[in-house]
Amino acid sequence: MAAPLLKACFSRLQETGKRYSCLLLFSAHRLRWNQHIRLYTEGFPGLQARIRPLPLLIATGSGYFGYNQYEKYKLRELEKLGIELPPSLASELQVTIYKSIPTRLLSRAWGRLNQVDLPTWLRKPIYSLYIWTFGVNMKEAAVEDLQHYRNLGEFFRRKLKPHARPVCDSHCVISPADGKILHFGRVKNCEVEQVKGVTYSLETFLGPCTWAESIAINRNEDHSSFQDLLVTKEGNELFHCVVYLAPGDYHCFHSPTDWRVAHRRHFPGSLMSVNPGVARWIKELFCHNERVVLSGEWTHGFFSLTAVGATNVGSIRIYFDKELHTNNPRYNKGSYNDLSYVSNNNQEGMCMRKGEHLGEFNLGSTIVLLFEAPQDFTFSLTPGQKIHFGEPLGSI
């Protein structure tokens, strides 16, 4: 018994000695390395200072934020003096970098998060914070009790009380949603303004006019421009209006007039932010983003409503179109999907009454109206004004 025990103890002492020798050797090498580093840095005093990433990042970010706020202050002061400056547009490289951000993936993740049911005790604090942040008026909601909404998705898509939004009968076109008027007016030279001074191509936005036969546009006539192709009646002009829906707004949109929807075109694309600041920065922003174009006609000719997607708003729903699926994981860049609502069994398409429920966003985005009307059509709007669904946009 004693011999094996002594042998085991001796082996243990050998291993301990080896480890101690390695530790001494490592310490000697480390000391020698530190001496070399100290001798080298004595001639370069700047290398002795340690670079700390977090303070450097905070200092850089604070400097950029301060510079950005100073530039905005200068612009506000120039606007007060009545001096208008041309918009500072993003370069192609900046747009490419922005589009490289996985906003579609983030939007799908946000959509799934919205469908997660919240515990009853947690609903009121979360919804109250959202209401305080974005100025939501819950007195207009059909259900004011916050604990009624099981998840964020239900809260975003809340319905209004029946008489919270009276529909104006004296004007032919009403606002399809709650929001802010970004721009409105006549379409000139096939260019549409998304905000003042920043335009996008009418043809790029709507796509090729392959749906013309569905809305009684004569494709055989010679037209000098894409805009002339859309104006079907002599003496008419093409008008547009852009309504921006903020996160705190009512997220459903309605029919802006009495019309028939003959065709739907879905453009898969990016999901960049469409808030007014980004709209002033990126040219043809609405042409980059995913959008659903509903085309048809009203009593004065061509009429279209386009729902433009944005960050966290990959889900665009049209109530009567069950085949529409937006923000799909895979899509071909520059492609679009067409669907005609006109068939042998339905020659009229989808007839919509003014104020009728049409669709909804998942958070908030933009509605673009493009329509043909007589030359004496006038908008009863001011740029930047807040508007509610049912209020008039203009009249003839």
Residue pair 194/182 in contact (Cβ under 8 Å)? The answer is yes
Q: What one-letter code names the amino acid at 94?
A: Q
Angle at 84 between CA 80 and CA 87, to 5 degrees: 120
Residue pair 263/333 in contact (Cβ under 8 Å)? The answer is no
pLDDT of residue 50: 56
Q: What is the mean pLDDT of the chain?
A: 77
Least confident of 64-78, 104-118, 293-307: 64-78
Q: Which residue, among 180, 314, 177, 174, has the nearest Cα to 250 in the 3D structure? A: 177
The mean per-residue pLDDT over the stretch 354-380 comes to 87
The mean per-residue pLDDT over the stretch 250-275 comes to 87
Pick 174 or 328 by higher pLDDT.
Answer: 174
What is the Cα–Cα distance from 247 to 215, expressed in whole angstroms? 34
Could you read off the pLDDT of 316-344 as tens digits, one per residue? 889 998 888 887 877 777 788 888 888 77
The predicted model scores a pTM of 0.75
Pick 237 or 25 by higher pLDDT.
Answer: 237
Could you read off the pLDDT of 193-218 as tens digits, one per residue? 777 777 788 888 888 877 665 665 55
The mean per-residue pLDDT over the stretch 55-72 comes to 69
Question: Does 254 qualify as catalytic in the annotation?
Answer: yes
Residues 6+ apart with CB under 8 A from 329: 104, 108
Residue 243 predicted with pLDDT over 50: yes
Angle at 295 between CA 360 and CA 210, to 5 degrees: 135
The mean per-residue pLDDT over the stretch 57-69 comes to 69
Pick 174 or 78 by higher pLDDT.
Answer: 174
Could you read off the pLDDT of 277-324 as tens digits, one per residue? 777 777 778 888 889 999 999 988 899 999 988 776 667 889 998 888
Residue 103 predicted with pLDDT over 80: no
Q: How far from the centroid of its chain's Cα atoms is residue 169's Cα? A: 32
Question: Does 365 qualify as catalytic in the annotation?
Answer: yes
pLDDT of residue 4: 46
What is the Cα–Cα distance from 258 to 315, expressed in whole angstroms? 26
Candidate list 254, 263, 288, 300, residue with the active-site label: 254
**Around 142, how many Cα atoms within 13 Å sit in the side-chain half-sphere?**
13
**Residue 270 tokens, joined:** 């990016």
Q: Which residue, among 361, 366, 388, has the nearest Cα to 153 in the 3D structure? A: 361
What is the Cα–Cα distance from 188 to 199, expressed in whole angstroms? 10
Burial of 234 (0-12, 13-18, 19+ CB in 10 A): exposed
What is the Cα–Cα distance from 364 to 316, expressed in whole angstroms? 10
Could you read off the pLDDT of 141-158 as tens digits, one per residue? 888 888 888 888 888 888
Helix (H) or strand (E) holding 101: none
Question: Does 117 qualify as catalytic in the annotation?
Answer: no
pLDDT of residue 340: 87
Least confident of 46-60, 219-233, 350-364: 46-60
pLDDT of residue 93: 81
Candidate list 107, 273, 315, 365, residue with the active-site label: 365
Candidate list 107, 175, 178, 255, residue with the active-site label: 178
Q: CA 236, 177, 135, 244 torsion: positive or negative?
A: negative
Residue 255 predicted with pLDDT over 90: yes
